[in-house]
Structure 1
Protein backbone atom coordinates (compact mmCIF):
# COMPACT_ATOMS: atom_id res chain seq x y z
CA UNK A 1 0.00 0.00 0.00
CA UNK A 2 1.37 3.45 -0.96
CA UNK A 3 1.19 5.74 2.09
CA UNK A 4 2.91 8.98 1.03
CA UNK A 5 3.35 11.34 -1.90
CA UNK A 6 7.00 10.34 -2.07
CA UNK A 7 6.16 6.63 -2.43
CA UNK A 8 3.53 7.55 -5.06
CA UNK A 9 6.17 9.53 -6.98
CA UNK A 10 8.59 6.57 -6.87
CA UNK A 11 5.93 4.11 -8.04
CA UNK A 12 4.72 6.45 -10.81
CA UNK A 13 8.26 7.09 -12.05
CA UNK A 14 9.02 3.37 -12.14
CA UNK A 15 5.79 2.63 -14.04
CA UNK A 16 6.51 5.39 -16.57
CA UNK A 17 10.03 4.04 -17.08
CA UNK A 18 8.81 0.50 -17.71
CA UNK A 19 6.11 1.65 -20.14
CA UNK A 20 8.10 4.13 -22.25
CA UNK A 21 11.65 2.77 -22.52
CA UNK A 22 13.24 -0.22 -24.22
CA UNK A 23 14.52 -2.94 -21.90
CA UNK A 24 18.17 -1.85 -22.07
CA UNK A 25 17.37 1.86 -21.45
CA UNK A 26 16.17 2.82 -18.01
CA UNK A 27 16.10 5.41 -15.26
CA UNK A 28 18.79 4.96 -12.62
CA UNK A 29 19.74 6.75 -9.38
CA UNK A 30 23.44 7.69 -9.41
CA UNK A 31 25.95 7.61 -6.56
CA UNK A 32 29.15 9.46 -7.61
CA UNK A 33 32.13 8.32 -5.54
CA UNK A 34 35.94 8.44 -5.92
CA UNK A 35 36.02 4.63 -6.15
CA UNK A 36 35.30 2.10 -8.89
CA UNK A 37 33.07 -0.95 -8.59
CA UNK A 38 33.68 -3.68 -11.18
CA UNK A 39 31.16 -6.29 -12.38
CA UNK A 40 31.31 -9.28 -10.07
CA UNK A 41 33.03 -7.37 -7.27
CA UNK A 42 31.51 -7.12 -3.78
CA UNK A 43 32.07 -3.91 -1.84
CA UNK A 44 30.99 -2.43 1.52
CA UNK A 45 29.64 1.12 1.52
CA UNK A 46 28.97 3.47 4.41
CA UNK A 47 26.22 5.90 3.38
CA UNK A 48 26.08 8.95 5.62
CA UNK A 49 25.19 11.95 3.42
CA UNK A 50 21.49 12.80 3.61
CA UNK A 51 20.73 12.74 -0.12
CA UNK A 52 22.24 9.27 -0.52
CA UNK A 53 20.45 7.99 2.56
CA UNK A 54 17.31 9.08 0.70
CA UNK A 55 18.50 7.30 -2.44
CA UNK A 56 19.14 4.05 -0.57
CA UNK A 57 15.73 4.23 1.12
CA UNK A 58 14.11 4.70 -2.30
CA UNK A 59 15.91 1.89 -4.13
CA UNK A 60 15.21 -0.53 -1.28
CA UNK A 61 11.53 -0.02 -2.13
CA UNK A 62 12.10 -0.96 -5.78
CA UNK A 63 14.75 -3.15 -7.44
CA UNK A 64 17.65 -2.45 -4.99
CA UNK A 65 19.85 -1.16 -7.84
CA UNK A 66 21.70 2.13 -8.29
CA UNK A 67 24.57 3.34 -10.43
CA UNK A 68 27.98 3.75 -8.82
CA UNK A 69 29.97 6.10 -11.01
CA UNK A 70 33.58 7.18 -10.52
CA UNK A 71 33.95 10.86 -9.67
CA UNK A 72 36.80 12.54 -7.80
CA UNK A 73 35.19 15.59 -6.26
CA UNK A 74 38.56 17.18 -5.38
CA UNK A 75 39.99 16.75 -8.89
CA UNK A 76 36.85 17.11 -11.04
CA UNK A 77 34.69 19.52 -9.07
CA UNK A 78 30.87 19.26 -9.09
CA UNK A 79 29.40 16.12 -10.60
CA UNK A 80 27.91 16.40 -14.08
CA UNK A 81 26.08 13.46 -15.61
CA UNK A 82 27.47 13.93 -19.11
CA UNK A 83 26.31 11.66 -21.90
CA UNK A 84 28.62 8.69 -22.34
CA UNK A 85 29.99 8.46 -18.80
CA UNK A 86 30.33 4.81 -17.81
CA UNK A 87 29.59 3.33 -14.40
CA UNK A 88 28.77 0.05 -12.71
CA UNK A 89 25.28 -1.09 -11.78
CA UNK A 90 25.33 -1.86 -8.05
CA UNK A 91 22.87 -4.26 -6.44
CA UNK A 92 22.28 -3.99 -2.69
CA UNK A 93 22.77 -7.47 -1.28
CA UNK A 94 22.75 -6.62 2.42
CA UNK A 95 21.86 -3.47 4.30
CA UNK A 96 21.68 -2.19 7.85
CA UNK A 97 20.05 1.09 8.80
CA UNK A 98 21.65 2.63 11.87
CA UNK A 99 19.75 4.54 14.54
CA UNK A 100 20.91 7.91 13.18
CA UNK A 101 19.73 7.10 9.63
CA UNK A 102 23.06 6.09 8.13
CA UNK A 103 23.27 2.89 6.09
CA UNK A 104 25.87 0.14 5.98
CA UNK A 105 25.60 -1.66 2.63
CA UNK A 106 27.12 -4.65 0.91
CA UNK A 107 26.77 -4.14 -2.85
CA UNK A 108 27.72 -6.28 -5.82
CA UNK A 109 28.56 -5.09 -9.32
CA UNK A 110 26.09 -6.67 -11.74
CA UNK A 111 26.82 -4.88 -15.02
CA UNK A 112 27.89 -1.69 -16.73
CA UNK A 113 25.88 1.30 -17.92
CA UNK A 114 26.47 4.50 -19.88
CA UNK A 115 24.64 7.75 -19.22
CA UNK A 116 22.30 8.91 -22.00
CA UNK A 117 21.03 12.01 -20.25
CA UNK A 118 21.02 13.39 -16.75
CA UNK A 119 17.55 14.13 -15.38
CA UNK A 120 16.49 17.31 -13.65
CA UNK A 121 16.82 16.77 -9.92
CA UNK A 122 13.34 16.25 -8.49
CA UNK A 123 14.97 14.51 -5.54
CA UNK A 124 18.09 15.35 -3.55
CA UNK A 125 20.23 12.81 -5.41
CA UNK A 126 21.27 12.46 -9.06
CA UNK A 127 19.31 10.42 -11.59
CA UNK A 128 19.89 9.69 -15.27
CA UNK A 129 18.53 7.78 -18.22
CA UNK A 130 21.13 5.11 -18.95
CA UNK A 131 21.67 2.20 -21.33
CA UNK A 132 23.43 -1.10 -20.77
CA UNK A 133 27.10 -0.85 -21.74
CA UNK A 134 28.06 -4.10 -23.41
CA UNK A 135 31.21 -5.38 -25.07
CA UNK A 136 31.32 -4.41 -28.74
CA UNK A 137 33.30 -7.47 -29.81
CA UNK A 138 34.32 -10.78 -28.32
CA UNK A 139 36.72 -13.63 -28.93
CA UNK A 140 35.04 -17.01 -28.79
CA UNK A 141 35.76 -20.61 -28.01
CA UNK A 142 39.35 -21.81 -28.20
CA UNK A 143 40.71 -18.36 -29.04
CA UNK A 144 39.32 -16.89 -25.81
CA UNK A 145 40.43 -19.88 -23.73
CA UNK A 146 43.97 -19.49 -25.08
CA UNK A 147 43.93 -15.73 -24.37
CA UNK A 148 42.68 -16.25 -20.83
CA UNK A 149 45.27 -18.98 -20.28
CA UNK A 150 48.05 -16.49 -21.06
CA UNK A 151 46.78 -14.14 -18.35
CA UNK A 152 46.41 -16.96 -15.82
CA UNK A 153 49.98 -18.06 -16.54
CA UNK A 154 51.26 -14.53 -15.88
CA UNK A 155 49.30 -14.42 -12.63
CA UNK A 156 50.81 -17.77 -11.59
CA UNK A 157 54.31 -16.42 -12.29
CA UNK A 158 53.56 -13.39 -10.14
CA UNK A 159 52.11 -15.44 -7.29
CA UNK A 160 55.19 -17.69 -7.28
CA UNK A 161 57.19 -14.59 -6.30
CA UNK A 162 55.00 -13.86 -3.28
CA UNK A 163 55.65 -15.35 0.18
CA UNK A 164 51.93 -16.04 0.76
CA UNK A 165 50.11 -17.35 -2.30
CA UNK A 166 46.30 -16.81 -2.14
CA UNK A 167 44.76 -20.18 -3.00
CA UNK A 168 41.38 -18.71 -3.99
CA UNK A 169 42.93 -17.10 -7.09
CA UNK A 170 43.09 -20.52 -8.75
CA UNK A 171 39.32 -20.19 -9.27
CA UNK A 172 39.80 -17.25 -11.65
CA UNK A 173 40.39 -19.53 -14.64
CA UNK A 174 36.75 -20.67 -14.76
CA UNK A 175 35.15 -17.23 -14.73
CA UNK A 176 33.56 -15.81 -17.86
CA UNK A 177 34.96 -12.27 -17.49
CA UNK A 178 38.41 -12.99 -16.16
CA UNK A 179 39.60 -9.41 -16.59
CA UNK A 180 37.38 -8.04 -13.81
CA UNK A 181 38.45 -10.79 -11.41
CA UNK A 182 42.13 -10.20 -12.18
CA UNK A 183 41.69 -6.46 -11.74
CA UNK A 184 40.44 -7.07 -8.20
CA UNK A 185 43.54 -9.15 -7.46
CA UNK A 186 46.08 -6.45 -8.36
CA UNK A 187 46.54 -3.14 -6.58
CA UNK A 188 45.98 -0.27 -9.01
CA UNK A 189 44.60 3.23 -8.64
CA UNK A 190 40.90 3.87 -9.27
CA UNK A 191 41.38 5.88 -12.52
CA UNK A 192 43.10 2.78 -13.95
CA UNK A 193 40.11 0.64 -12.95
CA UNK A 194 37.77 3.18 -14.53
CA UNK A 195 39.60 2.99 -17.85
CA UNK A 196 39.37 -0.80 -17.67
CA UNK A 197 35.62 -0.54 -17.03
CA UNK A 198 35.20 1.53 -20.20
CA UNK A 199 36.95 -0.98 -22.52
CA UNK A 200 34.40 -2.91 -24.59
CA UNK A 201 36.46 -6.00 -25.39
CA UNK A 202 37.58 -8.75 -23.01
CA UNK A 203 40.78 -9.41 -24.94
CA UNK A 204 41.80 -5.74 -24.72
CA UNK A 205 41.04 -5.66 -20.99
CA UNK A 206 43.22 -8.74 -20.47
CA UNK A 207 46.07 -7.18 -22.46
CA UNK A 208 45.92 -4.08 -20.26
CA UNK A 209 46.10 -6.28 -17.15
CA UNK A 210 48.90 -8.39 -18.63
CA UNK A 211 51.01 -5.24 -19.00
CA UNK A 212 50.66 -4.64 -15.26
CA UNK A 213 51.38 -8.28 -14.38
CA UNK A 214 54.55 -8.31 -16.53
CA UNK A 215 55.76 -5.10 -14.89
CA UNK A 216 55.16 -6.54 -11.41
CA UNK A 217 57.01 -9.74 -12.34
CA UNK A 218 60.00 -7.70 -13.56
CA UNK A 219 60.04 -5.89 -10.19
CA UNK A 220 60.00 -9.17 -8.32
CA UNK A 221 56.32 -9.16 -7.38
CA UNK A 222 55.87 -5.56 -6.21
Structure 2
Protein backbone atom coordinates (compact mmCIF):
# COMPACT_ATOMS: atom_id res chain seq x y z
CA UNK A 1 0.00 0.00 0.00
CA UNK A 2 1.19 3.47 -0.78
CA UNK A 3 1.56 5.11 2.64
CA UNK A 4 1.69 8.68 1.34
CA UNK A 5 -1.02 10.83 2.92
CA UNK A 6 -2.83 13.69 1.21
CA UNK A 7 -5.97 15.78 1.66
CA UNK A 8 -9.25 15.39 -0.25
CA UNK A 9 -12.77 16.83 0.01
CA UNK A 10 -15.33 14.37 1.39
CA UNK A 11 -18.90 13.80 0.24
CA UNK A 12 -20.65 11.70 2.93
CA UNK A 13 -23.57 9.68 1.60
CA UNK A 14 -25.92 6.91 2.64
CA UNK A 15 -24.59 4.71 -0.14
CA UNK A 16 -21.34 3.01 -1.18
CA UNK A 17 -19.48 3.77 -4.40
CA UNK A 18 -17.27 0.95 -5.65
CA UNK A 19 -14.19 1.41 -7.82
CA UNK A 20 -14.89 0.87 -11.53
CA UNK A 21 -18.55 1.87 -11.09
CA UNK A 22 -20.53 5.09 -11.53
CA UNK A 23 -22.91 6.94 -9.23
CA UNK A 24 -25.32 9.72 -10.33
CA UNK A 25 -25.32 12.63 -7.86
CA UNK A 26 -27.62 15.63 -7.54
CA UNK A 27 -25.81 18.47 -5.80
CA UNK A 28 -27.97 21.26 -4.39
CA UNK A 29 -26.24 22.45 -1.19
CA UNK A 30 -24.03 25.50 -1.87
CA UNK A 31 -21.08 24.05 0.06
CA UNK A 32 -21.05 20.90 -2.07
CA UNK A 33 -21.48 22.90 -5.25
CA UNK A 34 -18.36 24.75 -4.10
CA UNK A 35 -16.64 21.41 -3.56
CA UNK A 36 -17.49 20.27 -7.09
CA UNK A 37 -16.20 23.53 -8.55
CA UNK A 38 -12.95 23.12 -6.60
CA UNK A 39 -12.50 19.60 -7.99
CA UNK A 40 -13.16 20.79 -11.53
CA UNK A 41 -10.76 23.72 -11.25
CA UNK A 42 -7.96 21.59 -9.75
CA UNK A 43 -8.72 18.43 -11.75
CA UNK A 44 -8.81 16.48 -8.51
CA UNK A 45 -11.08 13.79 -7.04
CA UNK A 46 -13.34 13.90 -4.02
CA UNK A 47 -14.07 11.07 -1.61
CA UNK A 48 -17.40 9.27 -1.39
CA UNK A 49 -17.78 7.67 2.02
CA UNK A 50 -20.67 5.88 3.73
CA UNK A 51 -22.21 7.55 6.78
CA UNK A 52 -21.94 5.50 9.96
CA UNK A 53 -24.03 7.77 12.20
CA UNK A 54 -25.80 11.06 11.61
CA UNK A 55 -27.74 12.63 8.79
CA UNK A 56 -26.69 12.80 5.18
CA UNK A 57 -24.36 15.72 4.28
CA UNK A 58 -26.32 18.28 6.36
CA UNK A 59 -24.85 17.13 9.71
CA UNK A 60 -21.39 18.67 10.35
CA UNK A 61 -20.72 16.11 13.10
CA UNK A 62 -21.66 13.11 10.98
CA UNK A 63 -19.70 9.93 11.78
CA UNK A 64 -18.16 8.18 8.78
CA UNK A 65 -16.87 4.76 7.86
CA UNK A 66 -13.12 4.56 7.58
CA UNK A 67 -12.85 3.36 3.96
CA UNK A 68 -14.34 5.13 0.95
CA UNK A 69 -13.75 5.57 -2.78
CA UNK A 70 -12.10 8.36 -4.73
CA UNK A 71 -14.47 9.76 -7.35
CA UNK A 72 -13.77 11.71 -10.52
CA UNK A 73 -16.42 13.92 -12.05
CA UNK A 74 -17.71 12.43 -15.28
CA UNK A 75 -20.70 14.03 -16.95
CA UNK A 76 -21.78 17.33 -15.42
CA UNK A 77 -24.96 19.28 -16.09
CA UNK A 78 -25.72 22.64 -14.49
CA UNK A 79 -29.34 23.58 -13.80
CA UNK A 80 -30.64 27.19 -14.04
CA UNK A 81 -31.21 27.25 -10.27
CA UNK A 82 -27.58 26.33 -9.59
CA UNK A 83 -28.07 22.65 -8.87
CA UNK A 84 -25.56 20.23 -10.39
CA UNK A 85 -26.26 16.81 -11.85
CA UNK A 86 -23.10 14.78 -12.25
CA UNK A 87 -21.82 11.25 -12.67
CA UNK A 88 -19.20 10.25 -10.10
CA UNK A 89 -16.74 7.65 -11.44
CA UNK A 90 -15.23 5.42 -8.77
CA UNK A 91 -11.44 5.05 -8.84
CA UNK A 92 -9.24 3.79 -6.02
CA UNK A 93 -10.23 3.22 -2.41
CA UNK A 94 -8.90 5.30 0.44
CA UNK A 95 -8.66 5.05 4.21
CA UNK A 96 -9.44 8.09 6.34
CA UNK A 97 -6.57 9.02 8.63
CA UNK A 98 -8.21 12.13 10.08
CA UNK A 99 -11.37 14.09 9.27
CA UNK A 100 -10.95 17.87 8.91
CA UNK A 101 -14.22 19.54 9.90
CA UNK A 102 -13.67 23.29 10.02
CA UNK A 103 -11.18 24.17 7.28
CA UNK A 104 -13.80 24.59 4.54
CA UNK A 105 -17.61 24.69 4.23
CA UNK A 106 -17.48 20.97 3.39
CA UNK A 107 -15.65 18.12 5.10
CA UNK A 108 -12.09 17.23 4.18
CA UNK A 109 -9.84 14.39 5.32
CA UNK A 110 -6.26 13.25 5.38
CA UNK A 111 -6.32 9.90 3.56
CA UNK A 112 -4.09 7.16 2.22
CA UNK A 113 -4.76 4.54 -0.43
CA UNK A 114 -6.43 1.27 0.55
CA UNK A 115 -5.53 -1.48 -1.89
CA UNK A 116 -5.89 -5.22 -2.26
CA UNK A 117 -3.06 -7.46 -1.15
CA UNK A 118 -1.26 -9.02 -4.09
CA UNK A 119 -2.67 -12.50 -4.92
CA UNK A 120 -0.39 -15.41 -4.11
CA UNK A 121 -1.08 -17.24 -7.37
CA UNK A 122 -2.12 -14.81 -10.11
CA UNK A 123 -3.00 -17.52 -12.67
CA UNK A 124 -5.29 -19.27 -10.20
CA UNK A 125 -6.91 -15.97 -9.23
CA UNK A 126 -7.53 -15.15 -12.89
CA UNK A 127 -9.10 -18.53 -13.58
CA UNK A 128 -11.45 -18.08 -10.65
CA UNK A 129 -12.30 -14.54 -11.79
CA UNK A 130 -13.15 -15.83 -15.28
CA UNK A 131 -15.49 -18.43 -13.76
CA UNK A 132 -17.25 -15.82 -11.61
CA UNK A 133 -17.58 -13.51 -14.63
CA UNK A 134 -19.30 -16.27 -16.56
CA UNK A 135 -21.70 -16.91 -13.68
CA UNK A 136 -22.52 -13.21 -13.56
CA UNK A 137 -23.24 -13.17 -17.30
CA UNK A 138 -25.61 -16.10 -16.80
CA UNK A 139 -27.31 -14.35 -13.89
CA UNK A 140 -27.69 -11.10 -15.83
CA UNK A 141 -29.14 -12.87 -18.85
CA UNK A 142 -31.64 -14.60 -16.56
CA UNK A 143 -32.61 -11.26 -15.01
CA UNK A 144 -33.06 -9.68 -18.44
CA UNK A 145 -34.94 -12.67 -19.83
CA UNK A 146 -37.64 -12.00 -17.25
CA UNK A 147 -38.37 -8.75 -19.07
CA UNK A 148 -37.99 -10.08 -22.59
CA UNK A 149 -34.61 -8.41 -23.11
CA UNK A 150 -31.65 -9.99 -24.88
CA UNK A 151 -27.95 -9.18 -24.97
CA UNK A 152 -25.29 -10.26 -27.42
CA UNK A 153 -22.29 -9.67 -25.17
CA UNK A 154 -21.66 -8.42 -21.65
CA UNK A 155 -18.33 -6.67 -21.24
CA UNK A 156 -16.70 -7.06 -17.83
CA UNK A 157 -13.30 -6.07 -16.42
CA UNK A 158 -10.60 -8.70 -16.77
CA UNK A 159 -8.66 -8.31 -13.53
CA UNK A 160 -9.99 -10.07 -10.39
CA UNK A 161 -9.98 -6.84 -8.39
CA UNK A 162 -11.86 -4.77 -10.97
CA UNK A 163 -14.29 -7.61 -11.69
CA UNK A 164 -15.22 -8.11 -8.04
CA UNK A 165 -16.04 -4.42 -7.65
CA UNK A 166 -17.91 -4.18 -10.96
CA UNK A 167 -20.18 -7.09 -10.04
CA UNK A 168 -20.70 -5.93 -6.45
CA UNK A 169 -21.68 -2.52 -7.77
CA UNK A 170 -24.52 -3.92 -9.88
CA UNK A 171 -26.10 -6.11 -7.21
CA UNK A 172 -28.85 -4.79 -4.95
CA UNK A 173 -27.18 -5.31 -1.57
CA UNK A 174 -27.71 -3.90 1.91
CA UNK A 175 -25.29 -1.10 2.79
CA UNK A 176 -23.42 -2.97 5.57
CA UNK A 177 -22.60 -5.74 3.09
CA UNK A 178 -21.57 -3.26 0.41
CA UNK A 179 -19.26 -1.54 2.88
CA UNK A 180 -17.80 -4.88 3.96
CA UNK A 181 -17.05 -5.77 0.34
CA UNK A 182 -15.49 -2.35 -0.20
CA UNK A 183 -13.19 -2.76 2.80
CA UNK A 184 -11.98 -6.28 1.94
CA UNK A 185 -8.36 -6.30 0.79
CA UNK A 186 -8.50 -9.80 -0.67
CA UNK A 187 -9.83 -9.95 -4.24
CA UNK A 188 -10.39 -13.71 -4.07
CA UNK A 189 -12.43 -13.45 -0.87
CA UNK A 190 -14.47 -10.62 -2.36
CA UNK A 191 -15.05 -12.70 -5.49
CA UNK A 192 -16.02 -15.68 -3.35
CA UNK A 193 -18.64 -13.66 -1.49
CA UNK A 194 -19.95 -12.13 -4.71
CA UNK A 195 -20.13 -15.63 -6.19
CA UNK A 196 -22.19 -16.84 -3.22
CA UNK A 197 -24.56 -13.91 -3.60
CA UNK A 198 -24.90 -14.60 -7.33
CA UNK A 199 -25.76 -18.23 -6.61
CA UNK A 200 -28.48 -17.17 -4.16
CA UNK A 201 -29.93 -14.54 -6.49
CA UNK A 202 -29.85 -16.86 -9.50
CA UNK A 203 -31.75 -19.54 -7.58
CA UNK A 204 -34.28 -16.96 -6.43
CA UNK A 205 -34.77 -15.66 -9.97
CA UNK A 206 -35.11 -19.14 -11.39
CA UNK A 207 -37.80 -19.99 -8.84
CA UNK A 208 -39.48 -16.58 -9.29
CA UNK A 209 -38.91 -15.74 -5.62
CA UNK A 210 -36.99 -12.61 -6.59
CA UNK A 211 -38.96 -10.55 -9.15
CA UNK A 212 -36.13 -8.26 -10.30
CA UNK A 213 -37.16 -5.33 -12.44
CA UNK A 214 -35.26 -5.68 -15.75
CA UNK A 215 -35.02 -1.89 -15.99
CA UNK A 216 -32.47 -2.03 -13.17
CA UNK A 217 -30.08 -3.94 -15.43
CA UNK A 218 -30.42 -1.93 -18.67
CA UNK A 219 -27.61 0.46 -17.80
CA UNK A 220 -25.09 -2.37 -17.45
CA UNK A 221 -25.59 -3.94 -20.88
CA UNK A 222 -26.38 -3.07 -24.49
CA UNK A 223 -29.62 -4.86 -25.42
CA UNK A 224 -30.04 -5.59 -29.11
TM-score when normalising by structure 1: 0.78
SS class of match (1:61): helix
* C-alpha distance in 2 between matches for 1:205 and 1:126: 30
115, 124, 129: which one aligns with 1:134: 115
Structure 1 residues 23 and 105: alpha-carbon distance in aligned structure 2, compared to 1, 3 A threshold: farther
Residue equivalent to 2:128: 147
Shift of the alpha carbon at 1:166? Answer: 4.2
Cα distance in 2 for residues equivalent to 1:160 and 1:59: 38
Cα distance in 1 for residues equivalent to 2:150 and 2:32: 39
CA distance in 2, matches of 1:141, 1:180: 18
Q: Residue 66 of structure 1: which of 46, 50, 55 is its match?
A: 46
2:32 & 2:4 partners in 1: Cα distance? 25
* Alignment partner, residue 30 of structure 2: 50
| Aligned mate of 2:158, from 148, 167, 174 | 174
RMSD: 2.4
Aligned pair count reads 197
Gaps of 5+ in 1: 1-21
More divergent stretch after superposition (85-94 vs 142-151): 142-151
1:136-181 alpha-carbon deviations (Å, 9 max, x no partner):
2424432112211331243244345441354453x22634521011
Structure 1 match to 2:181: 196
Question: How big is the shift at 1:182?
Answer: 1.1
Q: 37, 58, 79: which is aligned to 2:62?
A: 79
SS in 1 for 2:116: coil
Is the CA contact (8 Å cut-off) linking 1:139 and 1:203 kept in structure 2?
no
Is the 2:7–2:110 Cα contact (8 Å) retained in structure 1? Answer: yes
Q: 1:1-222 counterparts in 2 under 5 A?
A: 24-71=4-51, 73=54, 78-81=61-64, 85-159=66-140, 161-162=142-143, 163=145, 164-169=149-154, 171-172=155-156, 174-176=158-160, 177-221=162-206, 222=210
Provide the C-alpha distance between the structure 2 equivalents of 1:31 and 1:168, rounded to a whole number of angstroms. 35
**SS at structure 1 position matched to 2:41:** coil
Compare CA radii of gyration and give the structure with the larger one. 1
Unaligned runs of 5+ in 2: 211-224
What do residues 69-100 of structure 1 show as CA deviations (whole Å, max 9, x unaligned)? 0116459x841357xx0000000123233232
